Structure formats: structure tokens, C-alpha cells
Amino acid sequence: MTVGVAVHRVRSIPDRTFRRVVRAVDRGVEQVARNADRELDRDVEYDVVAGATAPRGTVVTNTRDAVYRSTANWLDATDRRDPDALHLMLVDAPLQQSIGYGGNRSHVKYDGPVSYANVGATERWDDAAVTDNMAVHEVLHGLVTPYDARPVIGRGCEHDLGAVIPAGDGRGAIVTPLATAYAETTVGGETQWPGSGCLGHFSQDVGYDPDWWGHTYALSPATLAATARYLGRI
Ligand SMILES: [Zn+2]
């Protein structure tokens, strides 16, 4: 099997940012595929492509539903909806807090599902590492379900598959993609906009109140285990 992801963008996302995010998603999906290939009785490959740029006004960002719907409509209308790929749309809505830093509501193997990352917001209010992790985060949601998370961590919350790791200086904390925006859910904490999805306890916690937060695209062992379970049963 091949895990396919197409990363699209709206016009206002700069080339440099777009290329960087595509690279980050590529590294994220590579880790999932390599691990699944090792763990499963089947060959797992991956294919992350830089997709198309949506013309101005095509992608509507006033609600989460509008992002999914308008992106799906554009993909269908332009014959870009690869049913075997997950489509990640990078939107630029730095003031639209109601749609958050990103979203996902479906999974690969369901007619080319759409996820989005609000790159305009993460770039404005946080930094490149948060942007990259949120893009990977929303792709990961398409590669795992609560059903796969539960046997790994004892809970059905996908964010809990992420990890928060103590930094070497004993003061900071490093956050992996699925825990990004959820490691500390106060405004201006780990991220300027905290996530609004499920939250329980992370598979690793640092045990102190971090002075600073960093982000790594390296996936936690629980994320790798749960995504392999999902890919093993589809
Ligand atoms: Zn999430």
C-alpha cells in the first residue's frame, strides 16, 4: 500500500513556506510509513506531493465546515481529488480563531479526505516549527482513529498519542506533532492559540512547569504504534 498525501495551498502562502511545510509533511509521513512497513505484514510506501494553488476566493475560511466544503468543491471541480490521497489545504486566516490552527474530520481510504492547516495563523502567532508540526498533526489525524489509539495508550484521544519531552536544560519542554497545541491549553502557553479538541494525559509529561516550549517533528512511539494499527486494518 501507499500512503498518499497532497499538500495544497491558497495563493497568499509564500513559496518558501509552502516548500518547507511540504518537506515537514514528507518527513512526518515517512516516519509513519517506515514504521508500518517494519511492523506490518505488508509493504507500506508513501508519497507526499506538492499539490496545486487554489485561486483567490476559492477556499472559504469563516467556519471549519466552510474550509472542508470549499476545498472539496475546488478539488472536485478541477479534477484534483485523488480518492487514494489525503488532501491537506494550507489556508491563510491569521485572524480567524474560530477555525483554529487546523482541522481534520476524515481518514485516508475515504474518497480523498480533506484536512487543513491554518498556516497564516501559526506563522503569525507562533513560529515555523509550530506551523510544520500542525501540518503533520492534521495529516496524522487522517492516519489514525480513537479505535487504534485505545489499545496503545488506554484512551481514545488521538492527541494523547503525542508526547511532551523534558529538554536537556531541565527547564523547557519539547512537543511532538500530535501534542502540538495541546501540551498546555492556556492562551499564549505552548502555542498562542491552544487546541480545542480532546485532551487527556500525555504519554509523557515533564513533571514541571516549563519555562519554554520547543517542537520536534519526530513522532512519538505511541503515534507510530497507533498509525501502524490503522494502516494494518484498512
Ligand atoms: Zn488535533
CATH number of 60's domain: 3.40.390.10
Does the predicted model carry a pTM greater than 0.75? yes
pLDDT at 187: 78
Mean pLDDT per block of 10 residues along the chain (234 residues) reads 97 98 98 98 97 97 97 96 95 97 85 94 98 98 96 94 94 96 86 88 75 96 98 94
Radius of gyration of the chain measured on its C-alpha atoms: 17
Tell which residue, 160, 76, 65, has the closest CA to residue 103.
65
CA of 115 to the centre of ligand 1 (A): 10
Is residue 170 in some structural domain?
no
Is residue 157 in some structural domain?
no
Is residue 53 in some structural domain?
yes
148 Cα distance to chain centroid = 17
Is residue 46 in some structural domain?
yes
CA of 64 to the centre of ligand 1 (A): 13
CA of 171 to the centre of ligand 1 (A): 26
86 and 112 in contact (C-beta within 8 Å)? yes
Domain that holds residue 80: 2-149+220-233
- Read off the amino acid at residue 228: A
CA of 29 to the centre of ligand 1 (A): 16
Tell me the C-alpha distance between 149 and 197, whole Å. 15
Query: Residue 88 class from Cβ within 10 Å (0-12 exposed, 13-18 middle, 19+ buried)?
Result: buried
Is residue 165 in some structural domain?
no
pLDDT at 204: 57
Domain count, the chain: 1
Tell which residue, 5, 28, 17, 18, has the closest CA to residue 217.
28
104 and 67 in contact (C-beta within 8 Å)? no
CA of 198 to the centre of ligand 1 (A): 8
Tell me the C-alpha distance between 201 and 218, whole Å. 19
CA of 73 to the centre of ligand 1 (A): 23
pLDDT at 219: 98
pLDDT at 109: 72
Contacts of 72 (CB under 8 A, 6+ apart): 81, 114
CA of 167 to the centre of ligand 1 (A): 23
Is residue 127 in some structural domain?
yes
Is residue 199 in some structural domain?
no
Is residue 189 in some structural domain?
no
CA of 141 to the centre of ligand 1 (A): 7
